[in-house]
C-alpha cells in the first residue's frame, strides 16, 4: 500500500491567498491588469486597444460601421490589437531573445486579422467582392422594380 502524498498546493501564479482564504486579485481587479508586463495576452488590454482602433476603422471604411458588421468588426479589431501588443513586446525584449511562441502567436493573430479584413472588404480583393455583391443586389432590385412596374401597367385594376 502506498502512502498518500500530502503536499501543500501552491496558489496560481499572480494570485495570493489571504489568511481568511480570499484572493488578493479577484477577477476584473484593475491591480491585476496593471501588473501585466506587456498585455499581449490580456483580454482587458486587448479590448482597450481595439476600442481605440474602432474610430479609425470607421473613418477608413465607413461601411463597417453598419450594425450587421458588428461581430466581425469586433473580432477584427481584437486580432489587430493583439498583433499590435505582441509587436510592442517583441520590440521591448528584442527579436533575438523572443521565444518561438511569440512569433507563432503573432502569425496566428495576423492571419486571423487578414481573413477578417478580407470578409469586411478591407483588402482589394475583398472590396471588389463586396462591390460585386452590392452591384448584383442593386441589379436584382432594379429588375424587380421594372417587373413590378410592368405588372402594374398590365393590370391597372389592382391599384
Q: pLDDT (tens digit, 9 = 90+) per residue, 45-104?
A: 899 999 999 999 999 888 889 898 889 999 999 999 999 999 998 988 888 888 899 999
Report the chain's mean pLDDT, rounded to a whole number: 77
Round to whole Å and give the CA distance between 129 and 78. 24
The larger pLDDT score, comparing residue 58 to residue 2, is at 58
Round to whole Å and give the CA distance between 49 and 80. 9
Answer yes or no: pTM beyond 0.75. Answer: no
Residue 129: which pLDDT band, with cuts at 50, 70 and 90?
A: confident
User: How confident is the model at residue 143, as a pLDDT?
Assistant: 62
- Beta bridge partners of residue 23, listed in sequence order: 17
Region for 14 from its dihedrals, namely left if φ exceeds 0, alpha if ψ lies in -120 to 50, beta otherwise: left
CB 15 within 8 A of CB 25: yes
The larger pLDDT score, comparing residue 138 to residue 90, is at 90
CB 41 within 8 A of CB 88: no
What percent of the chain is modeled with pLDDT above 90? 27
Residue 107 has pLDDT above 90, yes or no: yes
Residue 31 has pLDDT above 60, yes or no: no
Residue 141: which pLDDT band, with cuts at 50, 70 and 90?
A: low
Please state, as a whole number, how many other Cβ atoms lie within 10 Å of the Cβ of residue 141.
10
Residue 131: which pLDDT band, with cuts at 50, 70 and 90?
A: confident
Q: Which residues contact 121 (CB under 8 A, 6 or more apart)?
A: 61, 63, 64, 127, 129, 130, 131
Amino acid at each position: 500500500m502506498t502512502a498518500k502524498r500530502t503536499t501543500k498546493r501552491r496558489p496560481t501564479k499572480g494570485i495570493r491567498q489571504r489568511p481568511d482564504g480570499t484572493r488578493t486579485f479577484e477577477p476584473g481587479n484593475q491591480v491585476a491588469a496593471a501588473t501585466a508586463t506587456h498585455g499581449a495576452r490580456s483580454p482587458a488590454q486587448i479590448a482597450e486597444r481595439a476600442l481605440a482602433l474602432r474610430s479609425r476603422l470607421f473613418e477608413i471604411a465607413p461601411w463597417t460601421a453598419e450594425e450587421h458588421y458588428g461581430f466581425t468588426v469586433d473580432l477584427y479589431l481584437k486580432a489587430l490589437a493583439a498583433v499590435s501588443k505582441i509587436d510592442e513586446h517583441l520590440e521591448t525584449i528584442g527579436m533575438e531573445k523572443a521565444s518561438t511562441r511569440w512569433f507563432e502567436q503573432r502569425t496566428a493573430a495576423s492571419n486571423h486579422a487578414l481573413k477578417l479584413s478580407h470578409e469586411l472588404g478591407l483588402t482589394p480583393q475583398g472590396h471588389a467582392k463586396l462591390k460585386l455583391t452590392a452591384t448584383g443586389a442593386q441589379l436584382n432590385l432594379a429588375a424587380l422594380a421594372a417587373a413590378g412596374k410592368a405588372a402594374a401597367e398590365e393590370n391597372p385594376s389592382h391599384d
